[in-house]
C-alpha cells in the first residue's frame, strides 16, 4: 500500500511545487492564518475539498453513513478506475513545529484511511521544499490512536538523515525538515484512502488537527447530501 501511496503522491509533486513556489518561502517567517472548520456539510464544506489539478475527481463525499455520531461522515469509495480519493483543508502555512504536539486523530469505519500533511519550506534540498507527510491508520474501525506520537510517519521526499519512505516519528521529521535554518509550514492537511486491492469504502469523521476537530455532517445545517468536490473550484 505504501508503494501505491508514494506513486500517487509523488505524481503530484511537480504540480505541487509549481503551485506553492513562492520567493523566500523556505526561509521567510511564516504568517499562520489557520481557520478551524468545526463543521463541514455538503452545502457548506468550510474549506474541505480537493482543488489540486492532479487529483481532480478524488474528493470524498459527505454522506448519511454514520461512524460514531448520528449526523453523517466523509466517505471515500475506491475502485480500479478510481484507486485513490483524498480531501484536504487549508492550514494557512501554520509552522509544522507548532502542530507536532497536538492530537492527530479521527474516527473511521473499517478500511484504509491515511493522514496527508502537505508542507513546503522543508529541507529537501531542492525547489520550495515541498513534501507530503503520511501516516496510515489501522484498518479496524474506531477512533484512531493519536498519530502525533507514532513512529510510523514517513515523508515523500528525502530529508537529512531520513530517506523518503523511511518510518520515523513526526517530531523526527519536523527536526529534519527544519534543519539548516529552514522553517517548514503546513499548507494543507487531510485524509486519503488508497487500499491495496483498489476496491474499498471507508468513512471518516471528527478529524482533529492543530486543536481543531471537524465534524462532517450530512444532516442539520447543511440539509442535503452532495460532493465536496463540486463545491471547490
CB 90 within 8 A of CB 47: yes
Specify the pLDDT at position 21. 29
DSSP string, 84-99: -EEEEEEEEEEEHHHH
What are the phi and psi torsion angles at 191 (to 5°)? -125, 140
Q: Please give the span between the terminal C-alpha atoms of the chain, in angstroms, as a whole number.
A: 29
Distance of CA 210 to the CA centre of its chain: 12
What are the phi and psi torsion angles at 68 (to 5°)? -130, -45
pLDDT tens digits, one per residue of 189-230: 999 999 998 799 999 999 999 999 999 999 754 444 444 443
CB 228 within 8 A of CB 48: yes
d(CA 186, CA 117) in angstroms, rounded, equals 7
Q: Which among 118, 114, 151 has a CA at the least distance from the CA of 135? A: 114
pLDDT tens digits, one per residue of 64-116: 999 999 999 999 999 999 999 999 999 999 999 999 999 999 999 999 999 99
pTM (whole model) above 0.75: yes
DSSP string, 162-222: B-TT--B-HHHHHHHHTGGG---EEEEEEEEE--TTS-EEEEEEEEEETTEEEEE-SSSSS
Amino acid at each position: 500500500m505504501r508503494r501505491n501511496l508514494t506513486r500517487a503522491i509523488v505524481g503530484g509533486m511537480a504540480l505541487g511545487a509549481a503551485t506553492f513556489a513562492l520567493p523566500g518561502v523556505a526561509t521567510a517567517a511564516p504568517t499562520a492564518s489557520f481557520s478551524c472548520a468545526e463543521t463541514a456539510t455538503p452545502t457548506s464544506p468550510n474549506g474541505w475539498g480537493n482543488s489540486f489539478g492532479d487529483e481532480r475527481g478524488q474528493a470524498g463525499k459527505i454522506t448519511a453513513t454514520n461512524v460514531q455520531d448520528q449526523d453523517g461522515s466523509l466517505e471515500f469509495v475506491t475502485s480500479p478506475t478510481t484507486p485513490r480519493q483524498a480531501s484536504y483543508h487549508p492550514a494557512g502555512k501554520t509552522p509544522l513545529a507548532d502542530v507536532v504536539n497536538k492530537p492527530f486523530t479521527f474516527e473511521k469505519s473499517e478500511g484504509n484511511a491515511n493522514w496527508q500533511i502537505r508542507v513546503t519550506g522543508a529541507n529537501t534540498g531542492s525547489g520550495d521544499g515541498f513534501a507530503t507527510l503520511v501516516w496510515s491508520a489501522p484498518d479496524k474501525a474506531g477512533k484512531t490512536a493519536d498519530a502525533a506520537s507514532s513512529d510510523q510517519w514517513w515523508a515523500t521526499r528525502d530529508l537529512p538523515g531520513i530517506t523518503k519512505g523511511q518510518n520515523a516519528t513526526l517530531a523526527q521529521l519536523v527536526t529534519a525538515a527544519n534543519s539548516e535554518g529552514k522553517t517548514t509550514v503546513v499548507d494543507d492537511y487531510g485524509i486519503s484512502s488508497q487500499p491495496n486491492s483498489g476496491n474499498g469504502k471507508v468513512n471518516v469523521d471528527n478529524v482533529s488537527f492543530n486543536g481543531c476537530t471537524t465534524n462532517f455532517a450530512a444532516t442539520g445545517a447543511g440539509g442535503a447530501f452532495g460532493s465536496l468536490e463540486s463545491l471547490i473550484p
